[in-house]
Amino acid sequence: MAREIRKVGVVGLGTMGAGIAQVCVQGGVEVVGCEVSAELGERAAERIGHFLTRAVEKGRMEQADRDAAMGRVRLTTELGDLAGCDLVIEAAFEDLDVKRELFAELDRLVGDDAILATNTSALSVTEIAAATERPERVVGMHFFNPAPLMALVEIVRTELTADEVFDAAYAFAERVGKTPIRCHDTPGFVVNRVLIPLLNDCVRVLDEARVTPEDLDKGMKHGAGWPMGPCELVDLVGIDIHIHASEALYAALREPRMAPPPRLVRMAQAGLLGRKTGSGFYTYDE
C-alpha cells in the first residue's frame, strides 16, 4: 500500500505551479506554495481563487468547498517552510542548473521520508536527482498545462528511484483526480517525445505547403481527429515554452525533427508567444 501524502509543497507558483497547487487543494490536500517574493505568491493565490470562483459560478463546485480549498493554501518565500511536507513538487523555470540547485537544498531541508518530484517536461530527472544525497527519493511528476484541466500526469522513474517512491507518486496523482502513466527517464518521456517533433513537422508544413494556420488546424482536426489544431495548441502552450522543450530534446537526441523550426524562433524573437501575449499564430482578445 502506497504511503499517504497529507501535505504537499509546490516550489514555483507560475502558471504550472499554481495549477498544480490548485489540483492538490481541490483534492483535499494541504499545500505550502513557495515563491521568490510574497507578491508573486499572492498573485498565484489570486489566480487559484479566481478559477475556483469560476467553478462555483458554473455549478461545478459549492461555495463552501471553494472556501475550504483556499483555506488549504499557505504561502511562503522560504524553502525551509517545506520541511514538514510529505511530497515537494518543483515547478521552477526549465533550467537544469536552477533545478539541481533547488533539489540539493530541498534534500537538506525536508524530512528523510519526503518525496522530491520535478515537473520538468524535457530535462533529465536523473541529472536533477544526482544533485541530491538521496536520489532514490526523487521522481518525475510531469503535469500538463493547464494542470487543473489536463488529466494526464507522467510519473517518471530513474534507475535509482525507489519502488515505494514511484508507487506513492502514482497513487497521489490518482488521489487528486488525475490519470497517471508510468515511464522511465528518457528525453521527452512519452507524450513530448512523440508530440514535439510532430508539432514541429506541422509548423514546417505551413511554409512547405503554403497553407494557412487556420487550414492546417482544420486539416488536423477533421482529417486526423485532433481535438485542437497544432497552431492552436502551440499558441496555448506558449511558443517560447515549445521552443525551449524542442531545444532540450534536440540537445539530447540530435534528431533534426526535434529542433525548433525557424518560423517559431522568429515569432518568439518578435514577442509573438501565443495566448499569453495576445498574439501568436492567432490574435486573442484578453
- Is 192 labeled as catalytic in the residue annotation? yes
- Is 279 labeled as catalytic in the residue annotation? no
User: Which one from 119, 124, 192, 200 is the annotated catalytic residue?
Assistant: 192
* CB-side neighbour CA atoms (13 Å) of 121: 24
User: Which one from 35, 90, 119, 121 is the annotated catalytic residue?
Assistant: 121
φ, ψ (nearest 5 deg) of residue 22: -60, -45
Q: What is the separation of C-alpha 117 from the centre of its chain, rounded to a whole number of angstroms? A: 11
φ, ψ (nearest 5 deg) of residue 56: -65, -45
- Is 244 labeled as catalytic in the residue annotation? no
- To which H or E segment does residue 11 belong? strand 7-11
Those residues whose C-beta lies under 8 Å from the C-beta of residue 257, and which sit 6 or more positions away, are 197, 200, 201
User: Which one from 90, 124, 142, 242 is the annotated catalytic residue?
Assistant: 142
User: Which one from 30, 35, 94, 154 is the annotated catalytic residue?
Assistant: 154
Percentages helix, strand, coil for the chain, rounded to the nearest 5? 50, 15, 35
- To which H or E segment does residue 157 belong? strand 152-157
- Is 119 labeled as catalytic in the residue annotation? no
Residues marked active site are found at 121, 142, 154, 192
